[in-house]
Amino acid sequence: MSAEAQNIIEESFKRLIKTYNPQPVVMERGEGAYAYDTDGKKYLDFACGIAVASLGHAHPKILKTLNDQASKMMTCQASYATKPKFECAKFLVDNSCFDLVYFSNSGTESVEAALKLARKWAYDKKGEGHSEIIAFRNSFHGRTYGAASVTEKRMSQPFFDPYLPDVQFATFNDIESVKALISKKTAAVIIEPVQGEGGLTPATPKFLKDLRALCDEHDAALIFDEVQAGMGRLGTFMAYEAFADEDGAVVEPDIGAWAKGMGGGFPVGCMMAKTEFGDALVPGTHGTTYGGNPLACAVALSVMQEINQPAFLENANKVGKFFMEGLANLQRESNKITDIRGMGLMIGVDSTIDIKTLIPALQKNGLLTTQAGKGTLRLTPPLILKQDQAQEALDILAKTLKEEG
């Protein structure tokens, strides 16, 4: 590392609240599936800001949209209609099972809106006292108080008490554990179709189908948190579409939350709902300063139009399958991989090598990754990934496992 890079890291973290441990490099730019540090080293980016850079770095369509819209209007009061907001909302509704959109700036804000909507809907429909929310162990939904309250990590962070009341945790992929908790007092059940921080564990189609039936039986809203799994990450535009049963039927949630890959790197998110639920929020019950601003909506629309093309999604599926098969081969050839989980290009790998050793070693060898849960290697490359780049990542993984084993 150069003296300049070392100085930037040291001086930056003297001035930053220590919510993250500093990485030993300073990032400067990105292009496609690659990122470059200030010393000129090239990395294959399988972190992508944790599943954010869906179109990779410096995508020409995003750059053009940013420049074009920024020169017209970047922000305006949320009560005004704008063409970018209309077009973005229309695209989302036309390409999903939902009827109404609320724009936010992040995943945690989208989840907050979903939780408030569910409780307001339950209050209007079932009356006071019907506010219970069921979430799942190993869940992650965000860091603000509502989102953190339905995240199991609250159990290990008592210093933030008191959390939101009336929240219970069931076991993921275990419908009996949900049955033991759900009642007429339940306002909503919130679930990630693929648990992100929980180790990249997918729900089973049957579990989601049973969950839908259980929510219908108890008149509770079903919320899908697709912040990490949605927007093409699983090889379908919406994550819920990736869980079709043997007859091709999919489970439709009542409310959903998105962000991350929706903006391809620009801060934008949304909460969507079916009309019965979305109508519960009226003027004065919720709002946003920046959500739905013209610049964010223009960028999100350009990103989503790119993602929601058959050829684009087909590539994500094809390369994801190739990469998963390559990981399975590595597992057979090495005793260093203990488990592989995930769907599409949202993949988790468990290894005998300590995660705090493995991630820096992969970085040294030119592959950027992140950690999920206590020790899972999370691989969330850009959805534009090519097969030869997937092979490059497999080669780096193989080399690193050998070196660190």
pLDDT in tens, 171-218: 999 999 999 999 999 999 999 999 999 999 999 999 999 999 999 999
* Alpha-carbon distances, residue 385 vs 194, 258, 380, 392 (angstroms): 20, 22, 10, 11
CA distance between the termini of the chain: 25
pLDDT of residue 136: 98
- Split at pLDDT 50, 70, 90, the class of 38 is very high
- Split at pLDDT 50, 70, 90, the class of 5 is confident
> Each residue of 351-396: pLDDT tens digit?
999 999 999 999 999 999 999 999 999 999 999 999 999 999 999 9
Report, as an integer, the average pLDDT of 222-230.
98
- What percentage of residues in the chain have a pLDDT greater than 70? 100
Among 10-19, 293-302, 305-314, name the one with the lowest average pLDDT. 10-19
Output the average pLDDT for the chain. Answer: 96
Pairing type for strands 132-136 and 100-104 reads unpaired
Q: Taking the model in full, what pTM does it have?
A: 0.96
Residues 128-144 as b/e (b if ≥16 CB within 10 A, e otherwise) read eebbbbbbbebbbbbee
Report, as an integer, the average pLDDT of 258-274.
98
DSSP state of 95: T
By the 8 A CB rule, do 161 and 155 touch? no
Is 4's pLDDT higher than 80? yes
Question: From its phi and psi, is residue 342 left (phi > 0), alpha (psi between -120 and 50) or beta?
Answer: left
pLDDT of residue 245: 84
Distance CA 151, CA 164 (A): 11
- Split at pLDDT 50, 70, 90, the class of 340 is very high
Which residues touch 108 (CB under 8 Å, ≥6 apart)? Answer: 141, 142, 143, 144, 147
pLDDT of residue 34: 98
Domains, the chain, with CATH or none: 3-59+310-404 (3.90.1150.10), 73-307 (3.40.640.10)
Lookup result for tokens 């909503």: 188
Question: From its phi and psi, is residue 234 left (phi > 0), alpha (psi between -120 and 50) or beta?
Answer: alpha
Angle at 190 between CA 184 and CA 196, to 5 degrees: 160
pLDDT of residue 347: 98
Give counts: helices (H), strands (E), the chain: 13, 17
